[in-house]
Every structure is written in structure tokens, then in C-alpha cells.
């Protein structure tokens, strides 16, 4: 038996309060499992940009009782077209077909996107503040005699827990510590792409481009680059993401710069990267002021997400390209499965490592496949797959990729994970 008598709650530590760590906190809280969340920053914050939720994450939010609140937020930025179930409308960004729609991708709930800060605030309304510790940057963890772990923070303090869940993002410290001394590659890889991100006031867009751009989310397709736009924050802003990719240096070119993210970039650099685009894309880009620029990295397939009583979740485990708008959504799925396992009545400090293994068993193959699909989907948006710009084939391929991501039976994943855990105890 472990150190704790049966019936004593498991001491659960979540590391990182991004969208995934907070989703896990909400899911555990709703299932009556106490936890402590450690966050290195002084407060929770998200970047000034939009974020989409896939049908898969929406189904989890529904289980958590948050879907109504979320849908209300997302729908507050709908113009006409939102109610038609269109997730993305496709247009050529190079001016072909006068930039008119050439296809669309539907999701049952329609477009589901918000400002990131709105999503964060929604989650925070469901996390008890007394369970959060700020300015706690993890620098190490060690196995104590028995099953407990000792967490060490940069301020010199330490805390004990029975299970550590690393939701600390693509540059995860937990992942680095878990893989210390191992040969497996687990460092993020640059994809050859970078994304300019900006929020443009909608009134400016309406004046310059007109209603058609704001009514539905649009994916502007071009060879080697693409632009995504959709409304957020009650329709006040058009979220613009303009991505350019260099395919000439192989799948993972060397990243030479120190910084992954640059702020207040001179907009002439964006203009130059999109030189020769069609007139509508040009009008959108002309409205962008001082964008940020993000080099897009993903993670190689990790051989494991779990070691003993420590698990990786969200970007820490499977950071992926953003081309399916599903990186955070995958972390939300992770959180849902983990919360069921960690609130199982048979989970103790002794058995929690089996519960974590069950989590890995149902999640790893799915998220790693989606990670690959996300890269391939980016090539689709950039007309760089064998499908090219064949509009009929294109819509089919896009639908196929997204159905695979959105169509998960998450209840079945939970059931499989729980059955595995229970069998491991027999
Ligand atoms: C351009 C772009 C567009 C995207 N669009 C979408 C989209 O539309 N839909 C979608 O689902 N996904 C999207 N994604 C992906 C999504 O943003 C990420 O998958 C998601 O934000 C990851 O959340 P996370 O909580 O795992 O990590 P993070 O958001 O990175 O959070 C990690 C947290 O851990 C904390 N932390 C880090 N180290 C430590 C430490 N040592 N100690 C304590 N705390 C620590 C950090 O301060 C941070 O709060 C997009 C990504 C990009 C780049």
C-alpha cells in the first residue's frame, strides 16, 4: 500500500495554467477530485489572438457543462452565415475566380471561435482560486521513498504530491526532466512555416473590404502560403493569421534564430511575404498593423507520455501545427480522459501509475496521428499536396481530415481507458 490510507484524496499537481492545464483543473473539480495547480507566471494570461474549437472539444465542454457558455461567446461574433454550420469557406488567395468561394467545410455546430482571453476567463470561472499557486516555476522533481514525488521550484520552495501532470506547453520542463539522459528525440522541430497574427478592428475591415469577408470564417488558399480570418470578441475584431512556408529545405529545416515569437513586427515584412497575392487578401493585409510573428514548431512522436506517477498533457506531449485549429482541442480531450481516471475510486498513490498508463494507451496513437494530419492539412491549404488546386478533390480531402479529428467518440475513449485501468488491478 502507499503512504496514504485508503480514502485520503490523491495529491494531484497540475503544472501549467494554459488552456489545457485549466481544462484539466475544471474537469477534475467537476468530478470532485482536489488538485493544486502551479503556474510560473504572476497571473493567468493568453495572447491577443483568436482560437477555434473543434466539434470534438465542444463535445467535451458539453460534458463539463460549459458548452452553453462557450457557444454563447462564440455566437456573439456570428454575422449572417454563422448559423449555416460553415466552419471554413475556401477561396483562392491569389485572385483566381475573383476571390469568390470555391468550397466550404461544415461542422455541425458551425464556426466556433473566440478571443483566447474570453476562453481563458470562461475556464477560470470554474476553477476554485484557492487551488492555484502563482509564481511557481518548476525546476525539478524527484521520487521520494514510497510513491510520492517532490516538486522543486525556482524560488527554492518544494512541495510533495502523488501525481504530477505536466501541462507546461511545448517547451515543457516536465518533458525535459522525464527524458533526461535518454536518447529519444523530444525537442520541438521547426516546420519551415511562420505565422503573422493580428486582430484588426471589424469596422475597418467592413469599410475596406465589405461584409463578405466578415460573414464566415475564410481560408484563403495559395501555393506556399495561406491566410485565415474569422471574427472574435463579439464581432469587434477580425482575427487574421497569415502563414508562409518554405518547402525547399525539407520537412524540418534548421531554426537559426533565438526567438520563436517576435512582437510588433514591421508590417512591410508581411506585405513582402505576401507579395503578388490577390486583391482581397492584399486589402486584409493592408489593414494589419504591427503583427506578431510565430515560428511554427511541433514535437516528434514521443515514445511515451508517462513515467511512473508523472504524465505529459497538451502541447507538452504533442504540440502540433495549427492548421486544423485543434491543438488545444486535443489537450481538452486529454484532460477529459485523465480526469475520469484520476477520479476513479480505485486510484491511490500505488495505482495511479496504471491509471496514467491507461491515459497514454488511449491518447497517444490518436494525438500523434492528428499531429501528422495537421502537418498534411497545412500542405493542403497551401496547395502543396497531390490534390493541388483541384477544387472537387480538395473539399473531399479537407472533409476527410477534419472528420477524423472531429468525429471521435470521446466517451468510448474514457470507457476503454477506465476498463484498462480496472483490468490492470485485477
Ligand atoms: C498560430 C496558432 C494558431 C492556433 N490556433 C488554434 C486553434 O484555433 N484551436 C486550437 O485548438 N489550437 C490552436 N493552436 C494551438 C494551441 O494554441 C495550443 O495547442 C494550446 O494553447 C496549448 O495549450 P497548453 O495549455 O498545452 O500550453 P500553453 O498554452 O503553452 O501553457 C503552458 C503553461 O505552463 C506554464 N509553464 C511553463 N513552464 C512552466 C514551469 N516550468 N513551471 C510552471 N509553469 C510553467 C506557462 O506559463 C503556461 O501558462 C494554435 C497555435 C498556433 C501557434
Active site residue 197: yes
**Ligand 1 in reach of 17 Cβ (< 6 A):** yes
**Ligand 1 in reach of 331 Cβ (< 6 A):** yes
Ligand 1 centre and the CA of 331: distance in Å? 9
* 365-380 pLDDT per residue, tens: 999 999 999 999 999 9
pLDDT range class, residue 7, cuts 50, 70, 90: low
**Ligand 1 in reach of 330 Cβ (< 6 A):** no
Relative to the CA of 19, which ligand 1 atom is closest? Answer: 25
Coil, strand or helix at 246: coil
For residue 151, give the C-alpha cell: 516538486
Ligand 1 centre and the CA of 292: distance in Å? 16
Ligand 1 centre and the CA of 49: distance in Å? 12
**Ligand 1 in reach of 60 Cβ (< 6 A):** no
Relative to the CA of 331, which ligand 1 atom is closest? Answer: 26
Q: What are phi and psi of 231, to 5 degrees?
A: -80, 145
**Ligand 1 in reach of 169 Cβ (< 6 A):** yes
Torsion over CA of 81, 223, 192 and 297, rounded to 10 degrees?
Answer: 20
**Ligand 1 in reach of 317 Cβ (< 6 A):** no
- In which element (H, E) is residue 6 found? none
Across residues 357-372, what is the average pLDDT? 98
Q: Which long-range contacts (CB under 8 A, 24 or more apart) does 4-11 make?
A: 4/162, 4/348, 4/349, 6/348, 9/33, 9/34, 10/162, 10/163, 10/342, 10/347, 10/348, 10/349, 10/352, 11/36, 11/148, 11/160, 11/161, 11/162, 11/163
User: Which domains, and CATH codes, for the chain?
Assistant: 12-77+115-187+302-387+410-425 (3.50.50.60), 82-111+189-298 (3.30.9.30)
pTM of the predicted protein model: 0.96
d(CA 231, CA 234) in angstroms, rounded, equals 8
d(CA 246, CA 341) in angstroms, rounded, equals 42
Ligand 1 centre and the CA of 29: distance in Å? 21
The predicted structure's pLDDT at residue 391: 87
Relative to the CA of 139, which ligand 1 atom is closest? Answer: 41
Ligand 1 centre and the CA of 369: distance in Å? 19
Q: Nearest to residue 57, comparing CAs of 20, 21, 85?
A: 20
What does the DSSP 8-state code read for residue 179? Answer: T
The predicted structure's pLDDT at residue 2: 36
d(CA 386, CA 365) in angstroms, rounded, equals 25
Coil, strand or helix at 98: helix
For residue 74, give the C-alpha cell: 462564440
* 209-245 pLDDT per residue, tens: 877 778 789 999 999 999 999 999 999 999 999 999 9
Amino acid at each position: 500500500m502507499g503512504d496514504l490510507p485508503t480514502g485520503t484524496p490523491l495529491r494531484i499537481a497540475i503544472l501549467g495554467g494554459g488552456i489545457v492545464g485549466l481544462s484539466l483543473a475544471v474537469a477534475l473539480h467537476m468530478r470532485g477530485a482536489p488538485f493544486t495547480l502551479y503556474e510560473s507566471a504572476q497571473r493567468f494570461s493568453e495572447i491577443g489572438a483568436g482560437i477555434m474549437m473543434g466539434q470534438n472539444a465542444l463535445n467535451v465542454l458539453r460534458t463539463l457543462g460549459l458548452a452553453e457558455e462557450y457557444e454563447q461567446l462564440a455566437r456573439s461574433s456570428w454575422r449572417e452565415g454563422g448559423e449555416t454550420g460553415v466552419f471554413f469557406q475556401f477561396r483562392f488567395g491569389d485572385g483566381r475566380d475573383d476571390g469568390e468561394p470555391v468550397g466550404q467545410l461544415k461542422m455541425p455546430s458551425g464556426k466556433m471561435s473566440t478571443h483566447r482571453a474570453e476562453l481563458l476567463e470562461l475556464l477560470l470561472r470554474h476553477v476554485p482560486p484557492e487551488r492555484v499557486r502563482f509564481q511557481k516555476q518548476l525546476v525539478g522533481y524527484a521520487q521520494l521513498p514510497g510513491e510520492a514525488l517532490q516538486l522543486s521550484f525556482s524560488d527554492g520552495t518544494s512541495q510533495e504530491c502523488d501525481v504530477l501532470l505536466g501541462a507546461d506547453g511545448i517547451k515543457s520542463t516536465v518533458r525535459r526532466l522525464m527524458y533526461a539522459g535518454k536518447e529519444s528525440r523530444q525537442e520541438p522541430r521547426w516546420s519551415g512555416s511562420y505565422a503573422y497574427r493580428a486582430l484588426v478592428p471589424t469596422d475597418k475591415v467592413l469599410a475596406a473590404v465589405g461584409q463578405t469577408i466578415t460573414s464566415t470564417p475564410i481560408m484563403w488558399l495559395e501555393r506556399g502560403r495561406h491566410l485565415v480570418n474569422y471574427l472574435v470578441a463579439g464581432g469587434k475584431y477580425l482575427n487574421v493569421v497569415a502563414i508562409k512556408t518554405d518547402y525547399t529545405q525539407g520537412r524540418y529545416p534548421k531554426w537559426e534564430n533565438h526567438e520563436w515569437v517576435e512582437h510588433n513586427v514591421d508590417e512591410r515584412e508581411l506585405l513582402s511575404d505576401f507579395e503578388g497575392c490577390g486583391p482581397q487578401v492584399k486589402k486584409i493585409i493592408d489593414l494589419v498593423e504591427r503583427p506578431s510573428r510565430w515560428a511554427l514548431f511541433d514535437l516528434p512522436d514521443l515514445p511515451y507520455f508517462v513515467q511512473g506517477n508523472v504524465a505529459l498533457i497538451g502541447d507538452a506531449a504533442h504540440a502540433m501545427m495549427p492548421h486544423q485549429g485543434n491543438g488545444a482541442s486535443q489537450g481538452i480531450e486529454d484532460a477529459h480522459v485523465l480526469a475520469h481516471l484520476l477520479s476513479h475510486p480505485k486510484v491511490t498513490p500505488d495505482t495511479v501509475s496504471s491509471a496514467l498508463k491507461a491515459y497514454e494507451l488511449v491518447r497517444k496513437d490518436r494525438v500523434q496521428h492528428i499531429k501528422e494530419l495537421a502537418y498534411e492539412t497545412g500542405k493542403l491549404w497551401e496547395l502543396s499536396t497531390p490534390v493541388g488546386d483541384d477544387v472537387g478533390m480538395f473539399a473531399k480531402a479537407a472533409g476527410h481530415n477534419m472528420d477524423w479529428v472531429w468525429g471521435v467518440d470521446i466517451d468510448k475513449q474514457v470507457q476503454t481507458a477506465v476498463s484498462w485501468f480496472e483490468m490492470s488491478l485485477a
